């Protein structure tokens, strides 16, 4: 596990840190081959944004805001979402997101299905034809 992601979670000592830690666990359970890193560090967010990747392509990012944790799937528009977890960026051409607010529960099984579908999509993209 990435020490940088550990630091980002530790920095968030409220519900957002707990939520991000739970999300991280679900992602790793769904895709044991996932890699994680911190990207997009800037003065307003020196701890950056956690990013989970499979086969060198982004599965999702975990941005934190005052009122939500936003999980953005890089290629979410190409993933079936029968449980309707995507609730943000629905008009975007490529990505889709899940906004989680304080007190909200995420359907763990449906979320893991989305992670596996994203990993499968990345694997198909990475395979030679």
| pLDDT tens, per residue, the chain with 129 residues | 588 888 888 888 899 999 999 999 999 999 999 999 999 988 988 888 999 999 888 999 999 999 999 999 999 999 999 999 999 988 888 999 999 999 999 999 999 999 999 999 877 655 444
Q: What is the C-alpha separation between 23 and 72, in angstroms, rounded?
A: 12
pLDDT for 125: 57
4-7 contact pairs (CB < 8 A, 24+)? 4/37, 4/38, 4/47, 4/48, 5/36, 5/37, 5/38, 5/50, 7/47
Nearest to 96 by CA among 74, 63, 114, 111: 74
3-state SS class at 64: strand
**What topology is assigned to 3-124 in CATH?**
3.90.1150
Compute the distance between CA of residue 112 and CA of residue 52 in angstroms, rounded to an integer. 13
Domain ranges of the chain: 3-124
Are residues 26 and 115 in contact, defined by beta-carbon separation less than 8 angstroms? yes
Residue 129: the pLDDT is 42
Which pLDDT does position 1 carry in this prediction?
52
User: What pLDDT sits at residue 4?
Assistant: 86
Helix axes 15-30, 108-126, angle to 10 degrees: 50
Model's pTM, two decimal places?
Answer: 0.89
Cα–Cα distance for residue pair 69/15, rounded to 1 Å: 9
Helices (H), 59-104: none
Residue 64 to residue 17: CA distance in whole angstroms: 9
């Amino acid at each position: 596990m990435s020490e940088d992601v550990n630091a980002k979670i530790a920095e968030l000592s409220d519900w957002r840190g707990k939520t991000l830690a739970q999300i991280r666990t679900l992602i790793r359970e769904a895709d044991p081959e996932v890699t994680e890193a911190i990207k997009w560090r800037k003065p307003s967010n020196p701890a950056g944004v956690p990013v989970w990747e499979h086969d060198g392509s982004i599965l999702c990012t975990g941005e934190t805001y005052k009122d939500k944790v936003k999980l953005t799937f890089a290629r979410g528009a190409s993933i079936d979402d029968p449980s309707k977890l995507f609730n943000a960026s629905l008009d975007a051409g490529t990505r889709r997101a899940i906004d989680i607010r304080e007190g909200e529960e995420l359907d763990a099984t449906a979320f893991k299905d989305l992670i596996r579908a994203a990993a499968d999509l990345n694997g198909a993209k990475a395979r030679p034809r």
